[in-house]
Amino acid sequence: MGRMVVRFLYQDAYVGSVLRQHAVAEQSTDNGLKHAEQKQMSDPPGWNLEEHELATVRRLAGDWIACETGIRSAAEVARILDEAGEKTLRLDASSLSRWDSALIAFVKMLRDSARTGRARAVQIDESGLPDAARRLLALAAAGTTEAASASVPHPSLTTRVGEAYFDAWSKTVAAAALVGETALRGTAATAHRTRTRGVDVLQCVREAGAGALSIVSIVNGLVGAILAFVGAVQLQRFGAGIYVADLVGIATVREMAAIGTAIVLAGRTGGAYAAQLATMQGNEEIDALKSLGIPVFDFLVLPRIAALVTMTPLLYLYGCAVGLFGGYIVSMATLDLTSASFLEELRGAVAGTQFAIGLTKSLAFGALVALTGCHIGLRAGRSAADVGRAATEAVVAGIVGVIALDAVFAICTSSLGI
């Protein structure tokens, strides 16, 4: 529903007074208010030119709403300034219906372009704009007096290589320091000389140990079964089906249970530690601990390391049991063996040294996963993306570290002849 309003346009006093009638259908009740009472089609914005003796008048008309009618481009602004030529450019907003930041953006672009890159700066007379727009422009101008930040210079190749080297070196040093600190503070903790709380250790133990039982069962059980299956098919050809017991036994106890459990824990718990510590970093919780003088290592990192170092060997033993059981089931199902003969062969194969090797490995793996998780978590940035990145890095580093450490163990044990 429109309301016909007769509007008058007054020419500037310099060129005498001429009355013109200008009828505009208006749907908002106040000048400058952009919120109509019902949805309407936008009037296309116009900036009609009128030449006068001393000034070029641009009559702004229609709706100037950023989301609906867009912003004027730099080319249009340049053309308007060119057409103003030597004269003052006067803006007249009497035909303007609705406006918002689009108008402010337009005038700001005019102002900026009028001064830069022109032989002679164009004078702009803004007295014809609505009062509210002029006040907002004043606010905008006051805010832009700060200089824009200088662009960062692009570093050369040698700088980048050098920085990468120093980065890698400091990371190695930090990792070594972490291992050393764990050893020192760990022994101190057992003598109750640190700020580690027993309740924190128990909480971490519960999450890392009991919480992982189901996934450890599934992974190790299935891996044991798969080993038995693959082995049975091959060994059956030589009539050596009974040696499946040896295969499953040695492979599970010496390698697969330890690696499988460690990788599962790296994914599950290493990532969780990194994400927890990274989020605490972002929430300034670490800062709060430091400012109170509570050592972060003792309070946050030691419980986690203690939990994984104690739980991983236990989970390994549990994984061995489940894996051997899975292998047993498959062997019984696919081969023509008696239960007693299988178990006897198994008992002979997995002598004490296999378990000892497996246990040592799982201890080392547990410490590695905890250390990488905590170290990467504490080093993380403070944004949401950084937390995700830290979790991913911790998981990848944990898994790669476990496999690498396993290779080292393999070399050591083979050279020791066990």
Partner 1 sequence: MIEVRNLTVEFDTRVIQRDLSFSIRRGSIFAIMGGSGCGKSTVLKAMIGLLRPSSGAITVDGEDYWVATEARRASISRRFGVLFQSGALWSSMTVAENVALPLQMFTSLAAAAIAGLVEIKLSFVGLVAAASQMPAELSGGMRKRAALARALALDPEILLFDEPSAGLDPITSKRLDELILELSKGFGATVVIVSHELPSLFGICDDGVFLDADTKTAIAHGSPRALRDTCDHPTVRAFMERGRIDPVRSQGSQS
State the DSSP string of 196-228.
--HHHHHHHHHHHTGGGHHHHHHHHHHHHHHHH
- For residues 105 to 144, the per-residue mask of contacts with partner 1, x marking binding by CB under 8 A and - elsewhere, is x--xx--------------------x-xx-xx--xxxxxx
The DSSP 8-state label assigned to residue 234 in this structure reads H
Q: Which of 146, 154, 199, 340: binder of partner 1 (CB under 8 A)?
A: 146
State the DSSP string of 350-414.
S-HHHHHHHHHHHHHHHHHHHHHHHHHHHH--SSHHHHHHHHHHHHHHHHHHHHHHHHHHHHHHH
Number of residues that bind partner 1 (CB under 8 A): 40
C-alpha to C-alpha distance for 13 and 158, rounded to whole angstroms: 68
61-69, 195-203, 210-218, 332-340 -> range binding partner 1 (CB under 8 A): 61-69
- For residues 325 to 354, the per-residue mask of contacts with partner 1, x marking binding by CB under 8 A and - elsewhere, is ------------------------------
Nearer to partner 1, 67 or 292 (CB): 67
Q: Which of 7, 10, 54, 73: binder of partner 1 (CB under 8 A)?
A: 73
SS3 string of 134-174?
Answer: HHHHHHHHHHCCCCCCCCCCCCCHHHHHHHHHHHHHHHHHH
Sites for partner 1 among residues 15-34 (CB under 8 A): 30, 32-34
Burial of 291 (0-12, 13-18, 19+ CB in 10 A): exposed
Residue 398 · residue 278 · CB < 8 Å: no
- For residues 357 to 396, the per-residue mask of contacts with partner 1, x marking binding by CB under 8 A and - elsewhere, is ------------------------xxxxxx----------
Nearer to partner 1, 71 or 250 (CB): 71
Helix (H) / strand (E) containing 277: helix 271-282
Length of the chain: 418
Residue 41 in the binding site for partner 1 (CB under 8 A):
no
Residue 46 in the binding site for partner 1 (CB under 8 A):
no
Sites for partner 1 among residues 263-322 (CB under 8 A): 282
Nearer to partner 1, 77 or 223 (CB): 77
The DSSP 8-state label assigned to residue 122 in this structure reads P
Q: Give the chain's radius of gyration (CA, Å).
A: 38
Q: How many CA atoms does the CB half-sphere of 172 hold within 13 Å?
A: 6
Angle in degrees, CA 116, 119, 122, rounded to 5: 65
Nearer to partner 1, 193 or 290 (CB): 290
Nearer to partner 1, 211 or 282 (CB): 282
Residue 144 C-beta: closest distance to partner 1, Å: 5
Q: Which of 70, 155, 162, 180: binder of partner 1 (CB under 8 A)?
A: 70
Number of other residues whose CB lies within 10 A of the CB of residue 15:
12
CB proximity list for 32: less than 8 A, separation 6 or greater:
99, 130, 131, 132, 133
Residue 149 C-beta: closest distance to partner 1, Å: 6
Residue 72 C-beta: closest distance to partner 1, Å: 8
Sites for partner 1 among residues 224-263 (CB under 8 A): none
Structure tokens at 319: 């994984």
Residue 314 C-beta: closest distance to partner 1, Å: 37
Q: Which of 57, 60, 65, 296: binder of partner 1 (CB under 8 A)?
A: 65
Residue 67 in the binding site for partner 1 (CB under 8 A):
yes
Residue 357 C-beta: closest distance to partner 1, Å: 45
C-alpha to C-alpha distance for 395 and 270, rounded to whole angstroms: 6
**DSSP strand pairing (88-99 vs 19-26):** unpaired
Binding site residues, partner 1, CB under 8 A: 30, 32-35, 65-67, 70-71, 73-74, 100-101, 104-105, 108-109, 130, 132-133, 135-136, 139-144, 146-149, 282, 381-386
